[in-house]
Amino acid sequence: MATAKSKSAKKRAVNGSKKGAAKAAPARAASGQLNKNTIRVRMYRIGFGDCFLVSLPIRGEDSKSDYKHILVDCGVHGRGDIKTMEQAIDNIAKVTGKKLAVVIGSHAHQDHISGFGKFAEKFAEFDIDEVWLPWAMDKNNKVANRFVKKQAALVSQLEDHFHALAARGAPVENGALEAVENLRGNEKAIELLRMGFGVNATVRYMTAGDKLKDPARIQGLSVRVLGPPTSEEFLSQMDPPAGQHYLRLVNGNVEPADSAPIFANKWTAQANAIGVPRLSLDDMQTLKERAEFPLDDLAFALTKVTNNTSLVVLLVFRGQYLLFPGDAEYGNWRWWLEQDDSGDILSRISFYKVSHHGSFNGTPKSAVEKMSEGRFGAMVSTQSAPWKSIPKPELMTALNLRAQKRIVRSDWISVDSAPAPLPGSMPVEPPRLPKGFSKGSIWVDYFINL
């Protein structure tokens, strides 16, 4: 879909990034230019994952760096990787002069933070002022630690289980396996984020209700943290279920993790023993399914738990409201939707990063309904692989209506051998991007006039 038109858009966008901006376009700038009167949100297409760069113009501070840059996530799911991340990071380096005021790691999932670990050397060259993380990633937070430990143990057990199932030739629900994988291999990225990339960046662990004024010396920026909460109800949802039973591979043989019998052998009845009732095959099958079922369920429950630890940040800059909810699902949203001014905030947003790649429960309907019709632009970083059900057509249709078509998907940028939107997937790419949006080689920009 990279038409001639989009190529020219790319040229403009690149030019506009640094030098062009210094020249200060007229107050009502044509969209597509970064200048001192525009905010730019750049969404990179890196596959199934988030990578957003927000550039804010700072007036009259230091003439050499007229912009402050905030990087929101940089990660891709192992099975939805389209190998463009390195290119994206190079572009970030170029655009920002390797200076990031803030790096946000929204939550501990591959598709949001893997890049920080995989391209650690590249990030080591950056000058980073602050790192913002959800409280759930804080090593010194007792509650967070308990969850993390419990989860890590469950994840490895679950993975063993699914692999053992596969080894036995049994069907494995791929969705469940992939969901578990999303939780893996993030240790390095998490560690780097926690130590502020080793460049003395200030690390903040944030909780719903936190407020910041002019953080990271970004004059005029105020920040409100809307999630994750620490309320009791929220925490009770976070606690992963325990005491399941697993299969595992031991020396190449499959056996249940707890194969030990629960009673002495003498109590096990032979099928034909007197007085032993006979269940029908159907009943036995149903019972066995009941006994197996919780594992797939658990796999999804676990990813949901982590999604709900997403840092939900509202950036308010010169009257513009930008909402970045990470992958927050309903448990996280609920808390702040119940606050008095949630309607007020949502009705004022000028930009919405669609939560959780446009999945069914990423954006609650009640939230969509509170957004002001036609007053905001939205971006959704998504792709039909590895989950065909993402993005959810009903939700996307509703958002498209609300935003009055000012919504753009990352998979409208065509990348070699990367999956294109499925037929029937919503919204459909229009011949021209809506006003305020323009395409680059592997990104889309959204400009907000100040």
Partner 1 sequence: MGNKPGTDESTIRHRPLKVYAFDPSRGRTLGNYMTINVEYEDVQPGPLGKYVHVIDYDATHDCYYLPIDLTERKILIQGGIDPNESDPRFHQQMVYAVVSETIRRFEFALGRTIVWAFERRIHDEYDERKPLRIFPHAMQEANAYYDRDLEALLFGYFKASETDAGVNIPGQTIFTCLSHDIVVHEATHALVDSQRDFFMEATSPDAPAFHEAFADIVALFQHFSFKEALLEVIQQTGGSIFRSVVDPETQPANGAPIIQAELTADNPLVGLAKQFGDAMGTRKALRSALGTPPNTNDLKKYNEPHTRGSILVAAVFDAFFTVYVRRTRDLMRIARAGGARMSSGDLNYDLANRLAEIAAKTAEGFLNICIRALDYCPPVDIQLGDFLRAMVTADYDLVSDDKYGYRMALIQAFRSRGIHPAGVASYSEESLLWSAPEGLSLHCKGLAFDLFSLNPRQQRQKNGKALWSFAKKHAELFCLTIGPDIKIQARTHHEVHRVSPDGQIMFNVIAEITQSREVPIDPNYPNLGKFKFRGGTTLILDENSNVKYSIPKPMGYEKDDENNERLIRQRAYQARRESDMAFSDFSEERLLGPELVERWSKSLNMTHRGY
Using CB under 8 A, which of 207, 339, 360, 429 touches partner 1? 360
User: What is the β-pairing status of strands 377-380 and 349-353?
Assistant: parallel
The three-state secondary structure class of 222 is: strand
For partner 1, which is the closer residue by CB, 202 or 389? Answer: 389
Instruction: Tell me how far, at minimum, the Cβ of 322 lies from partner 1, in Å.
Output: 24
Asked whether position 220 contacts partner 1 by CB under 8 A, the answer is no
Q: Does 389 bind partner 1 (CB under 8 A)?
A: yes
Which residues lie closer than 8 Å to 248 by C-beta, 6 or more apart?
A: 157, 160, 161, 164, 254, 255, 256, 257
Give the ranges where 317-430 is alpha helix by DSSP (H).
330-337, 342-348, 365-370, 393-402
Give the Cα separation of 166 and 172 in Å (integer). 6
For partner 1, the closer CB: 191 or 292: 292
Closer to partner 1 by Cβ: residue 15 or 389: 389
Per rule CB under 8 A, is residue 171 in the interface with partner 1?
no
Q: Does 364 bind partner 1 (CB under 8 A)?
A: yes
Number of residues that bind partner 1 (CB under 8 A): 60
Question: Per rule CB under 8 A, is residue 301 in the interface with partner 1?
Answer: yes
Work out whether 388 is an interface residue with partner 1 (CB under 8 A): yes
Nearest to residue 80, comparing CAs of 113, 47, 34, 122?
A: 47
Question: If binding is defined by CB under 8 A, does position 281 make contact with partner 1?
Answer: no
The one among 288, 404, 430, 435 contacting partner 1 by CB under 8 A: 288
Q: Which residues pair with 56 in a beta bridge?
A: 68
Q: How far apart are CA 245 and CA 113, in angstroms?
A: 31
Give helix 174-181 / helix 294-307 axis angle, nearest 10°: 40
C-alpha–C-alpha distance, residues 47 and 425, integer Å: 17
Count Cβ atoms below 10 Å from residue 440 Cβ, excluding itself. Answer: 22
Q: Does 236 bind partner 1 (CB under 8 A)?
A: yes
In terms of Cβ atoms closer than 10 Å to its own Cβ (0-12, 13-18, 19+), residue 254 is middle
Does position 303 interact with partner 1 (CB under 8 A)? The reply is: yes
User: How many other CB atoms are found less than 10 A from the CB of residue 332?
Assistant: 29
- Give the 3-state secondary structure of residue 203: strand
Binding residues for partner 1 restricted to 86-145, rule: CB under 8 A: none
CB 339 → partner 1: shortest distance, Å?
13
CA–CA dist 152, 145 (Å, integer): 10
Stretch that binds partner 1, among 58-66, 156-164, 197-205, 236-244 (CB under 8 A): 236-244
Interacting residues with partner 1 between 254 and 273 (CB under 8 A): 256, 258, 261-264, 267-269, 271, 273
User: Binding of partner 1 at residue 304 (CB under 8 A)?
Assistant: yes
CB of 334: closest distance to partner 1 in angstroms?
8
- Span from 25-33, 53-61, 89-97, 232-240 in contact with partner 1 (CB under 8 A): 232-240
Element (H, E) at 8: helix 4-17
- Nearer to partner 1 by Cβ, of 37 and 110: the residue is 110
Q: According to the binding rule CB under 8 A, does residue 291 interact with partner 1?
A: yes
Among 229, 331, 377, 436, binds partner 1 (CB under 8 A): 331
Q: Smallest gap, in angstroms, from Cβ of residue 406 to partner 1?
A: 20
> Pairing state of beta strands 127-134 and 99-104?
parallel
Helix (H) or strand (E) holding 151: helix 142-167
Give yes or no for a cis peptide into 431 (omega within 30° of 0).
Answer: no
Among 274, 417, 423, 432, the residue binding partner 1 under the rule CB under 8 A is 274
Stretch that binds partner 1, among 70-78, 95-103, 168-176, 370-378 (CB under 8 A): 168-176
- Beta carbon of residue 137, minimum distance to partner 1 (angstroms, whole number): 21
Contact 312, 324 (CB under 8 A): yes
Taking the least distance from each CB to partner 1, the nearer of 95 and 390 is: 390
Q: Under the criterion CB under 8 A, does residue 368 sit at the interface with partner 1?
A: no
d(CA 148, CA 152): 6
- Taking the least distance from each CB to partner 1, the nearer of 236 and 251 is 236
Binding site residues, partner 1, CB under 8 A = 174-176, 178-179, 233, 236-237, 241-245, 256, 258, 261-264, 267-269, 271, 273-277, 279, 283-284, 286-288, 290-291, 294, 297, 300-301, 303-304, 329-331, 356, 359-362, 364-365, 387-390, 392-394, 398
